[in-house]
Chain A
Amino acid sequence: MDMPATKIVATGTSPDTGYDSFRLGQFTFGRDDYFAHIAWPKGNHIIEIDRFLRAMVRDIGWGFFYGWIFFDDIFGTTNHYGTVDIFAGSYDQGYKDQGIDHLETFPAEVVKEAFETISRNWINEGYDPLSAPLETGSPLGSKTKERTDELVRGFRPATRMLGLEGDAPVRSDQTGHPINRAFADLEFDTPEIECEPGFEGQLHAINLFDHIARADVTWNPSFTAITGASICCVTSEEHMLPVIHGNDRNEWFIQLTDEIHWNIADKNTGAPRGRIVMKSGDICAMPADIRHQGFSPKRSMLMVLENGTPGLEQRYASGELKPYPVDFG
C-alpha cells in the first residue's frame, strides 16, 4: 500500500485573507472568505467553509469514526483503524468515469495532526463548529484571531456507564453544562436509588435525557453504556449533520425526542435511495451499504447503538456478513 508518511506542510499565507495554505501528500488545502479549496494532481474542489470546518473538527474528535466520512459528495476520509484514506471523487461516478478521482492513505496520526493544523489556522475566535449555527458566530471572512481553547470537546467516552465512580461524568450545572434552550420546556428529575447496607455504589442510574439536554455540542455521539462490544451513544442534534456518514458496519438509531429527517443514498455511488423521517420512539437500522445525512429542524435527542467488535469492518467488506442486520426468516 502506498502510504506517504509525510507531515502536513504550510505552503504560504494569503495576503488577502491571512489564512495559511497547506499540503499533505498530493493534496493541497486553501481557504478564502467563503470556501475551502482542495486540489490534487488531476482535479480540484471547493466546499463551503462552515460545512468544511464542521466536518473536519468532528472527524478529528470522532477519531475518523466508523467507515466513510464524506465532507460532501466528493471529499472525505475512510477509517482503516490505524490508517486513514483521504479521498476526492473516489465514490462519485462522474469523477471515476473521468479518471480525476484521487485517494491517498496516511497513518491516522498524520491525518489527525493535519486536520488539527488546518482547523486551528482557519477557525477564528467567536466561531465554534461544534455548536449549533444559532449558538455561534460566523466562520466567513478573513482571519482575525485564532481560537486558543480546545478545538474538540465532549468526546470523553464512558467505559462501563456514565456517572459510575471513576467513569466519565454526567453533565450538570457543576460541570458547566446548563440545560440547552431547546429543552428548557422539559422537567428533569433524578432516579431514586435505595441501596441496602453493604451494596452502596453497586446500583446506579442517571437521568440520560438530562445529560443529553446539557450537551454543548451537536452531532457528536459519545459512549454512555457498554454491553460487551455493544456501545450505546447519545447525542443532541440540531440543524444538519455536517457530514454524510457511510458506515462500514450496521448501526441503529433510536429517536428519543422530536424528529430527524435522514437522506439515504448508495454508499459507493451516492445515488439517492430516498428518505426516512424518524420521530420520538422510532427505531431504524442504517445498513452497511448506504450513506446517510440527518437534518434536525429542532434540537433533538438521538441514541445510537454501535457494534465495536474489532475487525468487523473486514467481515462486512469481504461479504462474510450481510450489509443489513435483521434476518426476517
Chain B
Amino acid sequence: MAYNTRVGSLAAYEKGVIELNDDLRKYAFSNIFEVAGGAQPFERVAVVQNLEYVAEVVRVEGESPWYAAPHDEFAVVMDGEVTFHFVKLEEDQVPGHAGGATRLGAKPNGPTMGKVTARRGHQVLLPKGAAYQLASAAPAVAIVQTMDGPETVKRWSDICVMA
C-alpha cells in the first residue's frame, strides 16, 4: 500500500474540527499555519501555555531582531527554510530575567558561533548563553518551545476556535 503523508504549510493547510459540549476556550484550539498567516514577521505568538512555559509561532520573513533567553529554547521549522545565526554572549550579557526570549538592541559584539540552516521538520537548539537571529528570504514558519517572556504575544481570542 502506498501512503500519502499530509503535512500542512502556509500555502495549504486544512484545519480540523472541535465539536464539544464544553467551553471551547478550555481547549485553545488553533492552527500553526493560520496563526503564522495572520502574523507580522517575527511576532512571537503564544499557541501553547503551560503555566510559565509557552510555545510561540513565528512567521519568519526577512531578518529578525537578535534574541536571547536565560535558558535553552528549541525551534521546529514547520514550513520553508530558516537560517539561525548565533553569537556567543559573555556571562554578564546573558539575560537575567525569569524566562522567555528578550529582544536585544543590536547584534551582540561577541564572537560568531556559526549558523544552522533548517527546513521542515528540523529541530534546532537555541542554547542558553547564545544570542540568535532568524532569517529567511521567503515566508517560513517555526514553532519555538520557550518560556512566557517579554516578547510573547498573546491574542488567544483571535487565534482560537471560540464556538
A contact residues vs B (CB 8 Å cutoff): 160-162, 164, 181-186, 188-196, 198-199, 202-210, 224-230, 232, 250-252, 254-259, 264, 272-287, 298-299, 303, 305-307, 309, 321, 323-326, 328-329
Contact flag A328-B16 (CB < 8 Å), given A225-B145, A279-B6, A284-B29: no
| A282 and B29 contact, CB distance less than 8 A | yes
Contact of B74 among A225, A250, A326 (CB under 8 A): A225
For the complex, is B117 an interface residue (Cβ under 8 Å from A)? yes
For the complex, is B140 an interface residue (Cβ under 8 Å from A)? no
Contact of B147 among A162, A227, A258, A259 (CB under 8 A): A227
Closest-CB distance, B102 to chain A (whole angstroms): 15
| B26 and A285 contact, CB distance less than 8 A | yes
| CB nearest to A200 among chain B residues | B114
The complex places the Cα of A321 from the Cα of B51 at a distance, in Å, of 9
| B88 and A276 contact, CB distance less than 8 A | no
Give B115-136 interface residues, CB cut-off 8 Å to A. 115-125, 127, 130
The complex places the Cα of A61 from the Cα of B25 at a distance, in Å, of 33
Closest-CB distance, B122 to chain A (whole angstroms): 4
Residues on A with beta carbons closer than 8 Å to the beta carbon of B76: 208, 303
B contact residues vs A (CB 8 Å cutoff): 1-8, 13-23, 25-34, 47-53, 55, 71-74, 76, 78, 86, 88, 99, 111-125, 127, 130, 143, 145-147, 156-157, 160
Closest-CB distance, B33 to chain A (whole angstroms): 5
| A203 and B6 contact, CB distance less than 8 A | no
The complex places the Cα of A323 from the Cα of B19 at a distance, in Å, of 19
Contact flag A209-B28 (CB < 8 Å), given A193-B114, A194-B114, A283-B47: no
Shortest Cβ-Cβ A-B pairs, 7 listed: A209-B121, A274-B20, A324-B26, A230-B53, A281-B8, A280-B8, A277-B16
| B116 and A191 contact, CB distance less than 8 A | yes
The complex places the Cα of A186 from the Cα of B6 at a distance, in Å, of 10
The complex places the Cα of A156 from the Cα of B135 at a distance, in Å, of 34
A and B contact pairs by CB, cutoff 8 A, 28 listed? A160-B72, A185-B5, A186-B5, A189-B119, A191-B124, A196-B111, A196-B113, A196-B114, A199-B113, A203-B113, A206-B122, A208-B76, A208-B121, A208-B122, A209-B120, A227-B73, A228-B99, A252-B50, A257-B7, A273-B21, A275-B17, A276-B17, A284-B29, A285-B26, A298-B3, A305-B48, A309-B51, A328-B156
A-B contact count (CB 8 A): 236
| A281 and B13 contact, CB distance less than 8 A | yes
Residues on B with beta carbons closer than 8 Å to the beta carbon of A272: 21
Closest-CB distance, A295 to chain B (whole angstroms): 13
Contact flag A227-B29 (CB < 8 Å), given A191-B122, A196-B111, A196-B113: no
Contact flag A283-B122 (CB < 8 Å), given A225-B74, A230-B147, A252-B48: no
| B111 and A307 contact, CB distance less than 8 A | no
| A224 and B55 contact, CB distance less than 8 A | no
Residues on A with beta carbons closer than 8 Å to the beta carbon of B157: 328-329
Residues on B with beta carbons closer than 8 Å to the beta carbon of A226: 72
| A284 and B18 contact, CB distance less than 8 A | yes
The complex places the Cα of A273 from the Cα of B73 at a distance, in Å, of 35
| B19 and A194 contact, CB distance less than 8 A | no
| B71 and A287 contact, CB distance less than 8 A | no
The complex places the Cα of A54 from the Cα of B27 at a distance, in Å, of 28
The complex places the Cα of A276 from the Cα of B51 at a distance, in Å, of 23
| CB nearest to A322 among chain B residues | B26
| A191 and B118 contact, CB distance less than 8 A | yes
| A282 and B86 contact, CB distance less than 8 A | no
Residues on A with beta carbons closer than 8 Å to the beta carbon of B25: 324, 326, 328
